């Protein structure tokens, strides 16, 4: 039984008194803080913070909390948001043919390990329909045709709107999203790339890794931006390989890392632990 | 050139308003916070915090800062301390015959990687005298005789007092300290144990590990308490071994882990990042 | 499409000429070796080896291969076996209520990531029946009653015999097997323990870890022997935790390590990469 | 006291009977094998092997061993060499201004952790002279002048010849070697690069890593080839960083990884555990 909390995330130019103002605001309403994290980026002079507050410790519903906080935020020129932990985000998962990431997310969704509402699975191939539907999740087959990409991605956007999606997860989708779509849903599209970025971006990273003869391979969970495999990194991890490994055996072992890194990165996003700053992330893990 | 900061560490029973009071106090004196960390232990209901504040942002020297903060601390029943980052702690290093941890600490001390004042090296064997003295560090040979332990450890305590020691590092000292000494310097004696505690406490951990056939070995940096190898853990790390490894090859590889874990744990302590709570530590790394 | 190979594993007291005799035997039949691994344990003076040979490179079926090799084995006093890679082992999985290891093994079985024949799932609780049956796997509920343990475990042994089991996997079974059963199936029962053994053997390891304040937790895959959590270790791995983690959050994160370690250990066993020597394993990974 | 062994390393196109021929040759001379490793690269069809044989188990000195083995090697078209473990390689270390790798290698050399003969330290800056000389090692200051690079590197080659160097270690040398020098000493020049290659090759890798916002950084030990930071990789390792890390704090933490990776890679090379195949390595660790 998770407690009902409000999560407040904010960033602004640094100056004296930010923590005092925010924590003073919370204390002024009797709020009980269960987690507080701050980070000052000394290079940019930007300040980031995240607070989890017990909802029932304050006589404010979320809307009232937001309204009451607005003057504080305005005073410091904050970019900010406040969410309620009991409301899971609605997620659309995009896949292609490989099922290991989808199967892992389905397990974590069903078991409650990750807290989200799984709206639908969309794929450019029909292969994973039965996997999705056996979990009672709508499956949409939207082929991505080289000569009708705009139309096809428009269809995916429609589905996202239709389901009132709040987050799109590319669980080995293997397609490059149109720039306009990346811009429209900036900070809400999460990809798992099967290499330790910036090494081996683009296609066939395990093949590249085998050819380069690296001794360690990895996976990267990042927000999708217009530039391929170059968005803000949320999480990475690696495993050791050796001379006996081929592109194929690396791919097999890599699947476990991909699943782990995607689920950890997605967890941070779902729990509002990630703040994006330029092309980097602050992750209050 | 590290900036001059004050570090404020405090813990107290949780209640609403702690962060607001502390950060309000700092803001009230115009203080600029560069790092702020908090932790609520939900099990014990205890709250922990650490702030780094730019010294020159406030019109208070350290003594005045302490005096001004005392009423806030008293209000919440805090256990607390405040230190100045520019004053390095005076450290006594105790060793036996193995030199890898001492050599590593000497390198980190000389290169400025770790910020401390190395007062003296004390050993129950004469072997490492030239290593210490080649770095210009006084070396004291204090044999620990089975039938004169009290007397010999009294001599070590005298040296610690003589040098006005603030921290004692057992860098593979291989001797069990008398309970009274553990109590007297509680929270100030740091040991490196060459196993992944609680596995293989006591003597010959690599031999134990080889016999048990583990696939991973490790090292543990912890505060020394009366009960052998059971004090609050500051830091641990591990490396993978395999069936080809013997107790001897584990010891060889383990030395690198020991050095790393000791230096990381010691760094946390020297930077006042560790709060002890019962037999556990909060490490604001 | 994996090639059809024979795997030959053998161990014997060391003496000159072992490799020459075995590889000479293989070469004498025109055999093409794809993998060759040897290990000399210098402490015990025992020699271990594993060869993978392309089946179609020799004019011998498995039975004929075994017969032809017997004189070589006898000459050196070898303990040995030879298997055919295309014949998957028949596995019985024992579970209790937690489903993460079972779900992971089901996924790896169905996707072909692990090569085995999943004969049945047996549990002392009915909870996971639908998970097993949705994959088309027979599920047997065998309550383990404190006052009828012998009878109940006899039922499990019967099921193992009925399905002609070759390997029993305790995927968080949470019950202690009777000594006679451990002895009867020595080297064929694989357990996943949710701690980094020998730390925290027995019950509630995450609770123990949280209380001890360790900075790293882990999981251990080992063969089951009469002595609880003390059998030969096949594989271990760890993850870093910190002061914010509770027994509950450690358990949540630990599940991922348990799944990984169990699947890696089981893979080594299924591929005949593990030789047991006393209470230790040689793993030709 | 390590035993005196011969190490035999060889590679050749795969065909049936290689192991039988080599181990048969060894057994024919009564040789006792303490380590045997083989690897078949299925992609290229190339076979690699390494044997350690107790020198005193055969009535052959190294020269006689080489002569006797030549016909076997010729039969299979092997590239091969045989060395005696008791003869340490003569090593020249090249450094610039940073001392952490040099200090680590000096410690490992002096303590016997790494078995090599340290011929001299060469640097394009005078800074580390006293460090080298305090260990009794000759130090040569050879400035690398932008407009006299050929001449200056010729001087370094002369020193290498003068000291009859067998291995050159670039311990943060920070200079690009001339192509001719890379070619002349191919497979004998070892570099430590302060990133997880192929990420962040070239200059200022920690700065690049901080800008890209990666969550893990690393170091790479590799043989130097004409193409910058692109030679065969011997060893890599990584550490986790987070949003609080700057290029400077990454550099500080990275030093520990650099030292470890360089010493491990160098150990493999000194113990003749590395075979180069195209742009990759087989490391019989």
pLDDT tens for C222-238 read: 999 999 999 999 999 99
Model pLDDT, residue D86:
86
CB proximity B246 to D under 8 Å: no
| CB proximity A199 to D under 8 Å | yes
Q: Is B204 found in the same domain as B150?
A: yes
In chain D, what are the helix, strand and coil shares in percent, each to the nearest 5?
Answer: 35, 30, 35
Residue D1 has pLDDT above 90, yes or no: no
Q: Which residues of chain B have a CB within 8 Å of the CB of A30?
A: 16
**Do B57 and B153 belong together in one domain?**
no
- What's the rounded mean pLDDT across residues B160-164? 98
Q: Please indicate whether, in this complex, the C-beta atoms of D111 and B134 are within 8 angstroms of each other.
A: no
pLDDT band at A2 (very low <50, low <70, confident <90, very high): low
Nearest chain C CA: its distance from B198 CA (Å): 6
Neighboring chain A residues of B35 at a CB cutoff of 8 Å? 38, 40
Q: How many CB atoms lie within 10 A of CB C113?
A: 16
Q: Indicate the average pLDDT of chain B.
A: 96
For residues C225 and C265, membership in a common domain is answered with yes
Q: Rounding to the nearest 10 degrees, give the CA dihedral for residues C53, C59, C64, C68.
A: -70
CA distance C87 to B81: 67
Q: Which residue of A has its CA nearest to D232?
A: A213
Cβ–Cβ contact C40 with D under 8 A: yes
- Tell me: do C23 and C54 sit in the same domain: yes
Nearest to B68 by CA among B12, B5, B24: B24
Q: Which of C179, A238, C56 is nearest to D257 (CA)?
A: A238
Domain stops at, among D84, D117, D144: D84
**CATH number for position D50:** 3.30.70.260
* Min Cα–Cα distance to chain C from D11, Å: 15
Question: Nearest CA to C270 among C66, C129, C88?
Answer: C88
Where is pLDDT greater, at A64 or B1? A64
Average pLDDT on A14-33 reads 96
Catalytic residue among B104, B229, B245, B272: B229
- D118-147: average pLDDT: 97
Tally: H helices and E strands in chain A: 8, 13
Q: How crowded is the C-beta side of C67, counted as CA atoms within 13 Å? A: 5
Q: Is A237 exposed, middle or buried (0-12, 13-18, 19+ CB in 10 A)?
A: buried
Q: Which of residues 148-167 of D touch C (CB under 8 A)?
A: none
Instruction: Check whether B1 has a pLDDT greater than 70.
Output: no
Contact B216 C218 (CB under 8 A): yes
**Per-residue confidence band for C86, with pLDDT thresholds at 50, 70 and 90:** confident
D130: tokens are: 């006293």
Instruction: Tell me which DSSP letter residue A241 carries.
Output: -
> Quick check: B27 and A33 CB within 8 A?
no
Question: Nearest-CA distance from B106 to chain C in Å?
Answer: 26
Q: What is the pLDDT of residues B263-278, one digit of tens each?
A: 999 999 999 999 999 9
B-chain CB neighbours of D113 within 8 Å are 252, 255
Residues B92-110 have a mean pLDDT of 98
Average pLDDT of the residues in D261-265: 98
Domain boundary among D65, D84, D103: D84
- A66 and A119 housed in the same domain: no
Residue D275 and residue D206 in one domain = yes
Among chain D residues, CA nearest to B108:
D100
Are the beta carbons of D23 and C23 closer than 8 angstroms?
yes
pLDDT digits (tens, 9 = 90+) for A239-277: 999 999 999 999 999 999 999 999 999 999 999 999 999
In terms of domains, do A106 and A224 share one? Answer: yes
- pLDDT for the residue numbered B87: 94
Structural contact between residues B121 and B128, judged by C-beta atoms closer than 8 angstroms: yes
Which whole number is the average pLDDT over B117-131?
Answer: 98
Phi and psi torsions of B259, nearest 5°: -60, -45
Could you tell me if B109 and B34 lie in one domain?
A: no
CB of D101 less than 8 A from some CB of A: no
For tokens 């404020």, what's the residue? B8
Q: Does residue B146 carry a pLDDT above 90? A: yes
- Confidence (pLDDT) at A1: 40
Percent of chain D topping pLDDT 90: 98
Residue C1 has pLDDT above 90, yes or no: no
Give the structural domain span for B43: 5-84
pLDDT band at D117 (very low <50, low <70, confident <90, very high): very high
Res B17 pLDDT > 90: yes
Based on the structure, what is the number of domains in chain C? 2
pLDDT average, residue stretch C142-170? 97
If asked whether residues D104 and D68 sit together in one domain, one would say no
Q: Please say whether the beta carbons of B28 and A17 come within 8 A.
A: no
Task: Please identify, among C26, C61, C84, the residue that sits at the C-terminal boundary of a domain.
Answer: C84
For residues A64 and A49, what is the distance between their CA atoms, to the nearest angstrom? Answer: 20
Q: Which of A35, A98, A107, A130 to mutate to test the interface with C (most CBs of C within 10 A)?
A: A107
pLDDT of B37 over the 80 cut: yes
User: pLDDT tens-digit profile of D157-201?
Assistant: 999 999 999 999 999 999 999 999 999 999 999 999 999 999 999
Q: Given CA atoms C119, C123, C126, C132 in this order, what sign does their dihedral have?
A: negative
pLDDT at residue C220 is higher than 70? yes
* Residue C2 confidence class, pLDDT cut points 50, 70, 90: low
Residues of A marked as catalytic: 229
Burial of A150: CB neighbours in 10 Å, binned 0-12, 13-18, 19+: exposed
> Is C37 found in the same domain as C178?
no
Whether the per-residue pLDDT at B2 is higher than 80: the answer is no
Q: Do D108 and D243 reside in the same domain of the chain?
A: yes
When pLDDT is averaged across residues B115-124 and rounded to a whole number, the result is: 98
Cα distance from C53 to chain D (closest Cα, Å)?
A: 10
Q: Judged by CB atoms within 8 Å, which residues 53-72 of B form the interface with A?
A: 57
| pLDDT higher than 50, residue C130 | yes
> Which residue in chain A is spatially nearest to D214 when comparing CA positions?
A233
Q: What one-character DSSP code corresponds to residue D164?
A: T
pLDDT of residue D2: 53
Question: At residue B115, does pLDDT exceed 60?
Answer: yes
**Looking at the predicted structure, is the pLDDT value of residue C214 above 80?**
yes
pTM confidence score: 0.96
Could you say which of A14, A24, A57 has the minimum Cβ distance to residue B20? A24
pLDDT, position D144? 96
Q: Quick one: what percent of chain D has pLDDT higher than 70?
A: 99
Q: What is the pLDDT of residues D25-73, one digit of tens each?
A: 999 999 999 999 999 999 999 999 999 999 999 999 999 999 999 999 9
Report, as an integer, the average pLDDT of B53-60.
Answer: 95
Reported as a single tens digit per residue, the pLDDT across B204-238 is 999 999 999 999 999 999 999 999 999 999 999 99
Tally the C-alpha atoms within 13 A of residue B253's C-alpha that lie toward its C-beta.
21
The per-residue pLDDT for range A36-93, each reduced to its tens digit, is 999 999 999 999 999 999 999 999 999 999 999 999 999 999 999 999 998 999 999 9
- Determine if the peptide bond prior to D198 is cis (ω within 30°): yes
- Do the chains contact at C255 and A113, CB–CB below 8 Å? yes
> Which chains form contacts with chain D, at 3 or more CB pairs under 8 Å?
A, B, C
The confidence band for C27, taking pLDDT boundaries of 50, 70 and 90, is very high
Q: A171-193 burial string, b = 16+ CB within 10 Å, else e?
A: bbbeeebbeebbeebebbbbbbb
Q: What is the CATH number of the domain that holds A220?
A: 3.40.50.170
Specify whether D202 is located in the same domain as D220: yes
Which pLDDT score is estimated for D48?
A: 98
The rounded mean pLDDT for chain A is: 96
């Amino acid at each position: 039984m998770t407690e009902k909390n409000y999560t407040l995330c904010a960033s602004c130019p640094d100056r004296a008194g930010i923590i005092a103002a925010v924590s003073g605001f919370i204390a002024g309403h009797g709020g009980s803080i269960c987690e507080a994290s701050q980070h000052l980026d000394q290079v940019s002079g930007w300040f980031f913070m995240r607070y989890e507050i017990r909802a029932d410790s304050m006589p404010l519903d979320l809307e009232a909390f937001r309204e009451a906080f607005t003057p504080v935020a305005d005073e410091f020129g904050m970019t900010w948001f406040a969410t309620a932990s009991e409301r899971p985000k609605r997620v659309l998962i995009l896949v292609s043919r490989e099922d290991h990431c989808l199967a892992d997310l389905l397990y974590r969704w069903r078991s409650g390990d990750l807290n989200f509402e799984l709206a639908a699975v969309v794929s450019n191939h029909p292969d994973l329909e039965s996997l999705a539907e056996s979990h009672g999740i709508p499956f949409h087959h939207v082929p991505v045709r080289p000569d009708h990409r705009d139309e096809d991605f428009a269809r995916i956007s429609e589905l996202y709107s239709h389901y009132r999606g709040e987050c799109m997860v590319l669980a080995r989708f293997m397609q490059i999203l149109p720039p306009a779509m990346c811009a429209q849903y900036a900070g809400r599209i999460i990809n798992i790339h099967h290499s330790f970025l910036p090494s081996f971006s683009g296609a066939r990273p395990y093949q590249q890794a085998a050819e380069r003869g690296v001794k360690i391979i990895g996976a990267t969970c990042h927000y999708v931006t217009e530039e391929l495999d170059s968005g803000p990194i949320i999480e990475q991890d690696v495993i050791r390989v050796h001379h006996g490994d081929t592109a194929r055996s690396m791919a097999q072992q890599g699947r476990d890392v991909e699943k782990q890194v995607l689920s950890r990165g997605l967890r941070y996003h779902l729990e509002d632990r990630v703040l994006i700053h330029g092309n980097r992330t602050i992750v209050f893990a």
